[in-house]
Every structure is written in structure tokens, then in C-alpha cells.
A and B are shown apart, each in its own frame.
Chain A
């Protein structure tokens, strides 16, 4: 158990809909990362938040957005869903250090949310 929790475990929805995935980081971790894993694209970094502020963006679509709340939990919002958005979505957390010092710290991943768009 990594200490990172994600809800829900599974989500089935229709094209065009909007969903929200939730992540609670390990106690004390200030950084939250979101990743998408699909069969054709592999594991891809989407976005990072650090202590409530967006820190870095990866291959995140404009239809997707995220936020981190004062209690440090994070939500990933996916809208106008398409069949190709079906994937596993992972959240990871890391200690709260800034800048390049963070390179020396590991990330702890949650169990993921499996999204199926029909």
C-alpha cells in the first residue's frame, strides 16, 4: 500500500460526458502528479500540482483539467469524453520540495481509476 488513494476504482460513462477522478496523496506530500496509461500511448504524464498551484504540464488535453485543494487532495476533470479517453488514470504523490531538489525524490502511485467510455 503506497498510501495514495484514488476513487473511484472503475468508471463507465458515455461519450460526451464529464467525469471527476479523485486522489488523496500520502500524508505530508505536497506534490501530486496525474498520469494516463492507455494501450497505444503507454504511461504519460499529464499534470503536476504543488501545494495547490499548477507546477508542470505534460500531454494533457484541453478537455482535461485538474486542481489541488487546500487539504492537498486533487481532482482530475475529464470532459467531452471520447472513446479514446478510455484508459487507466494514476495519481502519484511526492514530498514537498521545490525545483531540481525534487529530482532526488521518488513518486508514490495510487492504484488507479479505470475509465471506460462507451
Chain B
């Protein structure tokens, strides 16, 4: 899987939008962009994924740059429960396991 780069940590206030960036300049044309998060003391949790177009679901939105070299996970209104480590993962080639990096530690201030 191609490499992704994320900030180590970000801080935001409760009830405000949060934009989590991810750079993936070596992405290939068939790589899907997946986002997972891991809340404290829990297993990873799927958030959203996309290929080329922006995606929305009940948890978040995924904005994908036109050249696909970067993407942004958008939490529209952060709550304390959104405090977690967020992982941006590219999936391509064989359908094997996820390659987790260090992710972004999101801190939500009340």
C-alpha cells in the first residue's frame, strides 16, 4: 500500500467542525482512500472511504482532491466522543490487510 502522511495531533473545540488532512502523493489510480478511527480502549472503527468523488455518510464527509494526492476527513460537529486516533489508509493491489500508520490523535476540548 502507498504511504500516507498525517499530522501527529490536532485539537478542536466541541460542536465545531474538524478537518483532518491526509497526504498521499504516491497514490495509484486504483487505490481507495479509507479512514478508520480508534477510540480509547476500543478496536478500530470504520469511518468512511472513497475512490475519486467526495463521500458523505452519517459519521463524516470525505473530500478528495482533484489530483487525489490528498484528502480531508470532515467531522461536521465534533463531540467529546470523537476524541480518537484517526487513520488514513490507502488500499490497493491485493485485497489483504489494512496498513495502519501512526494516525492523527484528535483532542476535543469541551
Contact = CB atoms under 8 A, between A and B. Distances in A.
Interface of A: 2, 4, 33, 35, 42-48, 55-56, 58, 90, 92, 97-104, 106-112
Given A103-B32, A104-B32, A45 B96 contact: yes
Interface in B89-110: 91-102
B16 interface: no
Contacts of B46: 106-108
A90 B43 contact: yes
B85 to A, nearest CB: 10
Contacts of B95: 55-56, 97-103
B49 interface: yes
B34 interface: yes
Contact of B43 (A2, A98, A99, A103): A2
Interface of B is mostly: loop
A103 B100 contact: no
Interface in B30-52: 30-32, 34, 38, 42-46, 49, 51
Given A43-B87, A55-B96, A109-B44, 8 more contacts: A2-B45, A42-B102, A46-B97, A48-B96, A58-B97, A90-B43, A104-B49, A108-B46
Nearest to B92: A103
Given A103-B32, A104-B32, A106-B49, A111 B42 contact: yes
B36 to A, nearest CB: 8
